[in-house]
Structure 1
């Protein structure tokens, strides 16, 4: 029997329940992992709140990321052995391969022997944030040296990964956050410029920073009322990549800005990489290379225990963190 987190209904953090369950042997194409650390993601909060792309079938497991030690392998699995220290690229089904628990089964193709310089806690913080940012900015956006990039909600784990990846390729990062409280933390995390959007006009600041040209790319998980100004901050021919929809408010579409600047608006999900074997391998190579060189280094905001899973979700929802929330097992 293993301790597993499940939800029996949608709701606030109190619906997260730790239960003792028997975990079956891995399928032929799966690997079973004794979990040491779990990465907590905004997607799991949205899933729990019934605000996510996937519907739950109760009782439901949940969780996208984990790191641990391989305890069993399916009959068709090669190149992975019992005892290997591994981490998990987020699967495509948040419930079927939920990672909140002591023992999990996951698809073998998504299991990575992570860089040896990583602790289990940091390894559990790698794949959602870096795969999401890499797929949007490098694989699709072709971000390169000298490009200006706007990263919104900049203290989130994905945004921090985007900042590191942008610096790795030589781009110039303009991080946006609501207030100046996190300004120094974002500069320390690698942002070249920080705009506090509740205190400054982002369009004016971006134009000052870029010499009146605007940014080539914007990477945004929020949309809502800020969408208009974000679009206006882009250069002619620029691209706004939307990878989330955190704002509960309506998103007004700015047709004249989009037409006048010939902008591209691109919806993006990390699953575009995970569902494509060739893209997944490119992502693994890029990210592992960055981890080994030190150019990519997961920033952990706070660590909780498994029996504090509700507190971990509440902390993430507080929006006070800078970096990844981790749960140890």
Structure 2
């Protein structure tokens, strides 16, 4: 089979197509023929050596894919040959799904939701689960709370917006330039701040008033929170920093946190889905929401397998307004 691998740290240029033998699944593993896979910012961090999971070379890559089951291990109980499945993202040094075939442990596999295409089915777990655990386990967000989602047009930001609005929170989105302002409004944000044109802290304070911002879902990292939202957080409020779009790791402002009893969480969805009880809870919530509301992820652009490296370069352009998917 042909797969995407990398043999050294770097950007998309280190990715290459390698041919390797297909190995049969063992124990609780599921082997499937990949129809589509999705790209994530976590993949960029992984090949750059900046993800908390470090690669072992040569390393496969990717954790979101959809396809048809070819074979299952002897301990698999929920899936069989011919099932159409999609994977829940998790990170290890052993598995990777970007290629013609992939193998994933059974607990990270689900059936494709009714009415979902292959492209849609490979695009929703990372988006919604990343938002789910952050909003409800860390942020304790509830109806009427103010939630700030920087870089809202990103896929995780879109997921957080949908889930926060579903429970009746007031969502404030942001974008660096006005190009995506109307798009974020169309997604359902109550307010949108253009950070290159407006003072973010002033706008957050004005919008939330004396109540303050209960929770921030922050993919930027670096020190932006000091200038943009720390002083707008409510007493006891919190933020989850789950990305590194700013390019550098943040330094935590201890005194500011103590003064307002606020919390900055260094957050990854992967630290939740490794717990089987929390994994099942997240699965149930998201699938129930899909069934009740018919929500679907937005797919921005679809690339052919041979153009996978081009898909990664497109991701780095930050032009996308949804998921980037590769089909085989």
Q: TM (normalized to structure 1)?
A: 0.95
How far apart are residue 295 of structure 1 and its match?
Answer: 5.3
C-alpha contact 1:164 1:295 (8 A) present in aligned 2: no
Residues 39-118 of structure 1: pairs in structure 2 closer than 5 A:
39-93=38-92, 95-118=93-116
* Counterpart pick for 1:213 among 197, 211, 214: 211
- Higher mean C-alpha deviation, range 154-163 or range 261-270: 261-270
Aligned to 2:117: 119
Is 2:250 aligned against 1:251?
yes
- Higher mean C-alpha deviation, range 201-210 or range 313-322: 201-210
3-state SS of paired residue (1:158): helix
Kindly tell me: are residues 86 and 173 of structure 1, through their superposed partners in 2, closer, same or farther at Cα, counting changes over 3 Å?
same
C-alpha contact 1:227 1:253 (8 A) present in aligned 2: no
- Cα distance per residue 1:60-113 (max 9 Å; x no partner): 1111110111111100000211111111011231x4110100100100011011
5+ residue gaps, structure 1, are none
Residues 271-282 of structure 1: pairs in structure 2 closer than 5 A:
271-282=270-281
* Counterpart pick for 1:132 among 130, 133, 136: 130
How far apart are residue 242 of structure 1 and its match?
Answer: 1.4
* Counterpart pick for 1:184 among 151, 158, 182: 182
Aligned to 1:287: 286
Aligned to 1:144: 142
Aligned to 2:261: 262
List, as ranges, runs of 4+ consecutive aligned residues in structure 1 with deviation greater than 4 Å. Answer: none
CA RMSD of aligned residues (A): 1.5
C-alpha contact 2:149 2:161 (8 A) present in aligned 1: yes
Is 2:321 aligned against 1:322?
yes
Q: Distance in 2 between matches of 1:245 and 1:281?
A: 28
Q: Distance in 2 between matches of 1:311 and 1:294?
A: 34
Kindly tell me: are residues 274 and 260 of structure 1, through their superposed partners in 2, closer, same or farther at Cα, counting changes over 3 Å?
same
Aligned to 1:169: 167
Number of residue pairs the alignment of both structures matches? 327
C-alpha contact 2:35 2:65 (8 A) present in aligned 1: yes
Is 2:15 aligned against 1:16?
yes
Aligned to 2:198: 200
Q: Distance in 1 between matches of 2:46 and 2:286?
A: 27
3-state SS of paired residue (1:104): strand
Aligned to 2:237: 238
Q: Distance in 2 between matches of 1:49 and 1:261?
A: 36
3-state SS of paired residue (1:304): strand
How far apart are residue 21 of structure 1 and its match?
Answer: 1.6
Aligned to 2:151: 153
C-alpha contact 2:139 2:239 (8 A) present in aligned 1: no
How far apart are residue 221 of structure 1 and its match?
Answer: 1.8
Aligned to 1:227: 225
- Higher mean C-alpha deviation, range 294-303 or range 157-166: 294-303
Q: Distance in 2 between matches of 1:29 and 1:112?
A: 14
C-alpha contact 1:218 1:240 (8 A) present in aligned 2: yes
Q: Distance in 2 between matches of 1:35 and 1:170?
A: 37
C-alpha contact 2:38 2:323 (8 A) present in aligned 1: yes
Aligned to 1:304: 303
3-state SS of paired residue (2:313): helix
3-state SS of paired residue (2:50): coil
C-alpha contact 2:25 2:72 (8 A) present in aligned 1: yes
